[in-house]
Structure 1
Amino acid sequence: MAALLLAGGLYVAYRATTEKALPAANLPSLAVPVVPTVPAATPGATAAATQPVAQPSAAVSEALAGPVTKVPSSSPTVTKAAAPKVTGKANPGGANLALSGVVAASSTEGGPFTADQAVDGDPSTRWSSGFAEPQWLRVDLRERRQLTEVTLVWEHSHATAYRVDVSLDGRTWRRIFSTTAGQGGTVTVAAGGAVARFVRMYGTKRSTQYGFSLFEFQVK
């Protein structure tokens, strides 16, 4: 079929054909890759039609997970070492160790009633504390001793509630006697062989409006 077109003011004639276009003879042929088509999933297809997924072998899984630490089914028994036994110098003669010790008190009433008056071996002198609660009197024996008893000789202003404590270092205390119904007088406390360097009376309740007062504080 022929047609006329106007181009740049000129009529150009061309002929349209239905012939196939052929490549030029001097051009190489091109290979067109063929892409395989994936069939669409058929409705109602079962899971058996799908391809199985490869699973890693046990060796590969272990290599990826890293080394495995095996925990024993039961923990080993741990035995604690026995604490070293605390020893102290014995006092076979029953001497009053407070006479050669260093005494201290929480407070003093004043005047002649200082702490050292309770460890001087004189039953006529005494220590008297300030008029408040609690109060304490402490003796440092200078070395660790094995104790048999502690004796308190109270003046009229005695303690109704108090305790007797022992310590190796003056910071951590262990109670060997306590009462909330003290009657004053002379009280002897059995120490049972306790090893200590420090011994104290710790008063928490007075019998009068005055302080805690001791004629003697003996440690044997």
Structure 2
Amino acid sequence: MPDVRPRGGAAPPSATAPPEPPPARRRSRKAWWTVIGLITAVLLAGGLHVAYRATTEKAVPAPSVPSLAVPAATVVASEAVLPPSEPPSRAVAAPVTSVPRVSPKVTTAAEPNPSGANLALTGLVSASSIEAPHFAAAEAADGDPASRWSSGFAQPQWLRVDLRERRRLTEVTLVWEHAHATAYRVEVSLDGKTWKRIFATTAGAGGTVTVDAGGTVARFVRMYGTKRSNQYGFSLWELEIR
């Protein structure tokens, strides 16, 4: 069979091929987003409606469902049940009335001493100074005639007894040692601050001196020495108070 190809070596055209089908059309993305938006809007609207009814309407049980009666619980008390307390009463302040101020009266009541006991033995004894520890103030109010109080080597000096309560005094006795006072006074007090003189001398000669107290009421009694008889201090064997 003769070669019928055209010049130039080109292959003869083949039979006509059928046309290709047109490409499938893509659905528009915009349409999908529109559908999704509509669905979302419907769901949100339904949720808002349910929430609104839940907050504005009261739950009412269905008429067909009978209400249940809840039996009251029985409480067994292990301790006595106290009755309810009454409401507290309201305090009403009383009207304030002015009261005239009255100065307190100073009482002179005092315990008597009918037995004549030495009250210094039960009192508290103190002194302005002591010569040494074995010449303490209490040594002059212990009822021992061999013990004594001796002060420092200076003047003035004092020896005091606190009777612990007010007493009605009859006498005060001083038993001097060799180092006695030539000038001294015996004083009494109700409070230990204000003193009243019941005896004074500037010519003391020592020995035993009894001072009449004349029923004076006092709690404190003291000997106050202002001048010594020698270079030593003031010294008393005993200070007796009755």
TM-score band w.r.t. shorter chain: 0.5 to 0.7
Q: Does 1:132 align with 2:157?
A: no
* From 109, 130, 135, the counterpart of 1:113: 135
Q: 1:141 aligns with which of 142, 158, 163?
A: 163
Match of 2:192 in 1: 170
2:239 equivalent among 199, 207, 217: 217
Q: Deviations over 1:116-172 (max 9, x none)?
A: 000000000000000000000000000000000000000000000000000000000
Report the Cα distance in structure 1 between the residues aligned to 2:107 and 2:215, rounded to whole angstroms: 13
Q: 1:201 maps to which residue?
A: 223
Deviation, 1:85, is 5.2
Structure 2 CA distance for aligned equivalents of residues 208 and 160 of structure 1: 9
Partner residue of 2:121 out of 85, 89, 99:
99
Distance 1:206 1:86, change over 3 A: same
Rg larger for: 2
Which ranges of 4 or more aligned residues in structure 1 deviate by more than 6 Å? none
**Distance (whole Å) between structure 1 residues aligned to residue 107 and residue 237 of structure 2:** 35
Pair 1:191 & 2:213 matched:
yes
In structure 2, the CA distance between the partners of 1:84 and 1:114, relative to structure 1 (3 Å rule), is closer
Aligned to 2:176: 154
Question: Aligned pair count?
Answer: 141
Letter in 1 for 2:239: F
What is the aligned-residue identity percentage? 72
Q: Distance in 2 between matches of 1:132 and 1:204?
A: 9
State how far apart, in whole Å, the 2-side matches of 1:149 and 1:185 are: 16
Kindly state the Cα deviation for residue 86 of structure 1 after the two structures are TM-superposed.
Answer: 1.2
Partners of 1:174 and 1:156 lie apart in 2 by 27
Partner SS state of residue 132, structure 1 = coil
SS in 1 for 2:121: helix
The 5 A counterparts of 1:37-76 are none
Q: What SS is found at the alignment partner of 1:210? A: coil
Greater helix proportion: 2
Question: C-alpha distance in 1, partners of 2:163/2:142?
Answer: 14
Structure 1 unaligned residues grouped into runs of 5+:
1-80
Return the alpha-carbon distance in structure 2 between the equivalents of residues 193 and 93 of structure 1: 14
Amino acid at match of 1:175: R
Write the letter of the residue equivalent to 2:131.
Answer: E
- What secondary structure is seen at the aligned counterpart in 1 of 2:230? coil
Q: How far apart are the structure 2 equivalents of 1:149 and 1:116?
A: 20
